[in-house]
Structure formats: structure tokens, C-alpha cells
Chains A and B, each alone.
Chain A
Amino acid sequence: MTNEMQMTLEAPSIYQPIMLSILEITPMTDLEKVFKIGLPHPMSQDHKPGQFMQISVLGVGEAPISISSSPSRSKNSFEICVRRVGALTNALHALSPGDVVGVRGPFGRGFPIERFRGKDILFAPGGLGLAPLRSVINEVLDDRSNYGRIIILYGARQPKEMLFRDELQEWATREDVELHLTVDEADEKWKGNVGVITTLFSKIQVSPRNTVAITCGPPVMYRFVLMELLGMGIPEGNIWLSLERRMKCGVGKCGHCQMDHIYVCQDGPAFSYAEIRHLEEAL
């Protein structure tokens, strides 16, 4: 991103946020809300899907939050999807449109989507993992002709915990998107698959060498999803993950996000499995 966003990197202090207004707040579930944050200047498209921002409420704190809008749609604004779990995220949920939040970033290394062109893409987000992957999905959909099949396997704990339901609906109706949903626990209305995300893999066939898989979800999910992906024969270098760690600075100084000798905030959060397979602390 250029202009305003990059200014945070040229600011007198790398820890100084710029204050931006919330344009819209859309409740998603009991726990998650989507915030649309305005940018004073149009944001160019050079942020990578998979990057994150440090979002703060002055006096409360700061936290890493993925950019959930795609570069193709982040023009005068960008979106984040926030689950309320603690001090900062609850404070964010208490805000209204027109209020300001502190923003630093974008930080980290996103997914190298230019390398995915021409390939089939298999997305496997679990729960809140859809927030960062939505950025990639929409980026790819806005450049649809440059990619092969688009398969999305999304799992949530309960139907009411599914995020971005409008978009799921849209993807479900598109001919050029293969969407499969599952929930751990169904309710009366749920007619789809019941079971953890890995139960969806048997529903699809892929040509492994031409497929890039991208997954993001709670820490426990990775091992199981990886087993499926590797089992399908997708090469290690074609499997991409976004890893979560505790992060305090976003700029490779505070030490919190360290995984072996790597700082996830700098070298990640997006990694190919080939890059982290040999790291003891990765998965």
C-alpha cells in the first residue's frame, strides 16, 4: 500500500498509529463484527492479501488484525473482521461509525498470489480463518480468468458462527466457485455437511500438481488439514498457511511472535509448508 498507509512506516515513530475513521460496522455473529475503515487517500493495490494491520484504541491497547478486504476492493477503505476476546477487541466492538481507531501497517508477508496464477486454488479456512482468506478469495475472484478452479472448504463450529454469510451465499451460486460448507454441530435448519473441516476433503477431487492450497484457522486445525492436503499429493511448496502468534510490535523487535529463529510478523504470517516444515516450533 502506498500513500497514507505507508506513511506509518515513515512516521517519526514506527509505533505511532495514524488515526482513521470507522465508516461502517457490520455485525456478523455474536462474537464478530466487520469494520470498514476509511482512508484519506485511495489505497493502491500493492498490499498483499494475508497481510495484517496493528489496530488500536488509544488507552486500551493494540492487536494484530488481518486485512479482510482484498486489494482489488480496498480503495478508499479497507475491512477487518474482529472477534471479541479481550481488552482491545471488546473496546473495538463498543465503537460506532464515525469513531476513530489507530492503524499501523500493513505488516508482514502475505500470500504471493502472482505465483498462483494459472493454478487451481483450494481454500480451507476454519472459523475466523476466513477473515484473512477472504482477502485472497476476493482478489482471485476479481481476476477470475487468470486462475483455474476455485474450491472453498469452510468449516465453522455452528451455523450461526459462519462468517460473511452474504458472500458465502454469492459464492454458492457462482458456477465458477466450488463451495463446500460444514459445521461441527448442526442446528434444526442446517442441511449441509456435519463434521470437522477435514470431512469435506473426500467431496473433492483435485489435480494435485496444479493445485495451490491455502489454509488458516485455529492452531489445532493445521495438523489435520495438512495431513489431508499432503495425502492428496499437493506438493509442500504449494501448501500455504497463515500462522498466528502473539504479536506486540509487528516490526520484528518485541520478540513475542518468534518461532524458532523466525519472527512471524516479518517473515510471515503467510508461509508455505515447505518453508516451515523443518521448524520445530511451527506447528
Chain B
Amino acid sequence: MTAKILPKHAMQGWIETLREHYRIIGPKPAQSQYVFGDIHSADDLDLSYPTSILPPKKVLLPQREDLFRFDSMGDTPIVEPTFDDEPTVILGIHACDMHSIALLDRVFEKGTTDQHYQTRRENTTLVSLECTTSCSEFSFCKSMGTLSVPENFDLHMTDLGDEYLLEIGSKKGENLLRGFNEVREATDADFERLNKVMSEKWSHFTYRLDFDVTELPALLSLSYDSKVWEELGDRCLACGACNIVCPTCYCFDVRDEVDFSLRSGGRFRVWDSCQLDRFAIVAGGHDFRDTRAARQRHRFFRKGKYLTDQYGVVGCVGCGRCAQACLVHISPVDTFNELHRRRVPSAAAQEEALA
């Protein structure tokens, strides 16, 4: 492994160097929470952030994004696609969010490549951050198998106290350190410190799922007709907050706009939510998921089964953001555990009897 050591006091210098070539996005405080936003100096950045309201998904797949602009002033309309290729660094991404980016990469690059996503992704360098303590009472990454950072990082940081150890994952990551001479090679002693952090971190996280995550797709298959969905449907307000804050939700709507001239304008996409009642409606008024229960079921099936079936990776990375955002306390862990409890009453009873 190639690794470097960055003293924390050199952070400001690093950010200044990076800013010459990149837009920098990182976690920073906003009101009493944290958001991923523009970082102009080390003072803006708070890498000890617990979790962010919105995941860094918002950088790769902005809430609203132009697909093309058009101008129909002349005889033949001119359609000009728009791409964002600004070199960008996202600093301090937690492991769960890195897993979600791995999923987004598959979604937007599988089959027909989405060049808008691809362009932005290719020009984005991902700097992940080792999670050493649980970030929120709602998170359950350990249960979902997403507590370890996946291989898709360009640079990976681990906090060693007054220094960061930087693991280089790619050429892009290496480039971030070019022309910056306040880092040094990591030594054996540094790796020992790293190992200590790594071995101690696990006990700071708890398993919250009552069963192994690999059983989740099968559990859901058996739970299609569960009463749980109706119970969730009765509680759900259909506000869509759970989709908006979720790092693995990527569904979008496509809309047009026209300038005041009425001859030019654009087509853009905006995040959409499968919990809203119009998501699956077609002309003629037929709604393919016409109850909140059906929409809740769809959401949890996507998270626990469909995305895994389609892309071979877990569809919920256990960040807990949806549970935190939900006014009526609907949470994936509780839902999955409840399905499991009802699925295996005899086994649970047996365990209880034995205890």
C-alpha cells in the first residue's frame, strides 16, 4: 500500500493548493447539522462531522440538472446538451456514502451510459474518510456490510490524532498530492498506528439488524404480502423526505422550461420520489402503486432486494438518514427486523425459551 502522512496543521496549505485546480466540496456545519458544501479554507471544513443532511450524491447527481438547452429562433431548432466537467474534489466521504457512489456508478454506466453523470463523475475525485465512531443513533452500516470503505476511493484518509494517513487508491488521488510537499511517506510506525485505529473501531459500532444482511433479499421475497406494509402505509405521510436524503435513491423526473421569449429554454431533470402519489400514474389515471402501503413496499424492496438483484450490490447502505428525516419514525432497520420477527415466530420463540 502506498500511503502518505498529512499533518493536520498542513490542511490549510493542502486546500489552498487544491483550490488552484479544483472546486472543493466537503462537510461543513450548517445550523445545528452538517452539509456537503463549498470549501474555501480549512476553517470551513469539519472532518469530525457525524453525518450530513444530504449525502454527497447531491454533487454527482444534483437535485436539478440541465440536460440540454434549446433555441428555436431559427428554421431548425438547435439542441445543445450541457455537461458539468468542472474538476471537483469531494473531501471526507464516509464509507456508507462511498458504497452508495459505487451503486450510482453502476446504475448510470450500465447499459446505456448517462453521459451527464459520467462526465461529472470522471471529473470528480473522491476522498473518503475512515469512520471510527458511529455517526448517528440511526445508522446501521455495520449490519449492512458497508462500514469498510469500498475500493472506489481515489484517496482515503484515516485520522491518527494530529495527522491523517492518506491511502492512495488511484492516479486521480495521487494527483491531489502533486506539487504539495507537506506530506511525508508513511512509515512502519504509522501503519502500526493505523492498524490500532482499525482494530479498535469495530467495537464502536453495533449490529442492529437481527439477522445476516445476505438473508435480506430472501426475507423480502417471502414478505410481499406482509401486514407490515399496510401498517407503514397507515403511518407514512407521503412526504418523500426519505427518498430525498437517501444516498442510493436516484430516480428523477424530466421537465422542460422556456425563457420569456418562448423560443428558447431547456430540459432538465430533478430528483423524484416514489413515495409521492404521482410517481407511477399513467395517462387515463391508472396508478400502478396507488396506496402508501404499496409505495412503502416498493421503497423497501428496492433497498433490500431489487437493486441487489439488478446491480449485485446492497441497495441500502445503512446511513440512517431516512430514519432521522422521517417525521413518523419509519426506519429500514426496524422494518427489516419486524419482517424478520414475523417471518420466523417459531425460531424466535425457541431462542427466547433457550435464553
Chain A interface residues (CB < 8 Å from chain B)? 9, 11-17, 19, 56, 58-62, 83, 85-86, 89, 100, 102, 218-220, 244-246, 248-249, 251-256, 258-261, 266, 280-281
| Tally of B interface residues using CB under 8 Å | 50
Asked whether B265 lies within 8 Å of A16 as measured between CB atoms, the reply is no
Asked whether A16 lies within 8 Å of B283 as measured between CB atoms, the reply is no
Question: With A218-B284, A253-B107 in contact, do A16 and B68 touch (Cβ < 8 Å)?
Answer: yes
Residues of B within 8 A of A12 (CB): 81, 83, 115
Residues of A within 8 A of B70 (CB): 58-59
Residues of B within 8 A of A256 (CB): 251, 253, 272, 279-280
Which of B83, B113, B115, B265 interacts with A59 by CB under 8 Å?
Answer: B265
Nearest-neighbor residue (CB-CB) of A281 within chain B:
B288
User: Which secondary structure dominates chain A's binding surface?
Assistant: loop
Q: A58-B256, A218-B286, A258-B302 are in contact. List 17 more A-B contacts (CB 8 A).
A: A13-B68, A19-B79, A56-B256, A58-B72, A59-B70, A61-B256, A62-B256, A219-B286, A249-B252, A253-B112, A254-B254, A254-B269, A255-B274, A256-B253, A258-B298, A261-B305, A261-B309
CB contact list, B104-132 vs A, under 8 A: 107-108, 110-116
Nearest-neighbor residue (CB-CB) of A54 within chain B:
B254
- Does residue B257 face the partner (Cβ distance < 8 Å to A)? yes
Residues of B within 8 A of A58 (CB): 70, 72, 77, 79, 256, 265, 267
Which of B116, B251, B301, B309 interacts with A255 by CB under 8 Å?
Answer: B251
Asked whether B76 lies within 8 Å of A16 as measured between CB atoms, the reply is no
CB contact list, B48-95 vs A, under 8 A: 67-68, 70, 72, 76-77, 79, 81, 83
Instruction: Give the A-B pair count, Cβ closer than 8 A.
Output: 127
Residues of A within 8 A of B347 (CB): none
Which of A245, A248, A252 interacts with B253 by CB under 8 Å?
Answer: A248
* Minimum CB–CB distance for A131 against chain B, Å: 13
Asked whether A85 lies within 8 Å of B284 as measured between CB atoms, the reply is yes
Asked whether A255 lies within 8 Å of B67 as measured between CB atoms, the reply is no
* Minimum CB–CB distance for B159 against chain A, Å: 36
Residues of B within 8 A of A59 (CB): 70, 72, 256-258, 262, 265
Asked whether B108 lies within 8 Å of A60 as measured between CB atoms, the reply is no
* Minimum CB–CB distance for A8 against chain B, Å: 11
* Minimum CB–CB distance for A130 against chain B, Å: 15
23 contacts between A and B (CB under 8 A): A13-B68, A13-B116, A14-B113, A16-B68, A19-B76, A19-B77, A58-B256, A58-B265, A58-B267, A100-B77, A218-B286, A219-B284, A244-B282, A246-B282, A248-B253, A254-B252, A254-B253, A254-B269, A254-B272, A261-B305, A261-B309, A266-B111, A281-B289
Asked whether B281 lies within 8 Å of A62 as measured between CB atoms, the reply is no
Nearest-neighbor residue (CB-CB) of B115 within chain A:
A13
Asked whether B111 lies within 8 Å of A252 as measured between CB atoms, the reply is yes
* Minimum CB–CB distance for B301 against chain A, Å: 8
- In whole angstroms, how far apart are the Cα atoms of A11 and B115 in the complex? 10
* Minimum CB–CB distance for B103 against chain A, Å: 13
Residues of B within 8 A of A83 (CB): 283
- Does residue B22 face the partner (Cβ distance < 8 Å to A)? no
Best-buried of A58, A256, A258, A259 by chain B (most CB within 10 Å): A58
Which of A61, A86, A255 interacts with B255 by CB under 8 Å?
Answer: A61
Residues of B within 8 A of A253 (CB): 107-108, 112, 114, 250, 252
- Does residue B310 face the partner (Cβ distance < 8 Å to A)? yes
- Does residue B34 face the partner (Cβ distance < 8 Å to A)? no
Residues of A within 8 A of B114 (CB): 14, 251, 253
* Minimum CB–CB distance for B305 against chain A, Å: 7
Asked whether B111 lies within 8 Å of A246 as measured between CB atoms, the reply is no
CB contact list, B192-249 vs A, under 8 A: 224
Residues of A within 8 A of B253 (CB): 248, 254, 256
- In whole angstroms, how far apart are the Cα atoms of A281 and B310 in the complex? 16
Residues of B within 8 A of A245 (CB): 280, 282, 288
- Does residue B300 face the partner (Cβ distance < 8 Å to A)? no
Asked whether B262 lies within 8 Å of A15 as measured between CB atoms, the reply is no
Asked whether A9 lies within 8 Å of B112 as measured between CB atoms, the reply is yes
Which of B81, B286, B289 interacts with A15 by CB under 8 Å?
Answer: B81
- Does residue B138 face the partner (Cβ distance < 8 Å to A)? no
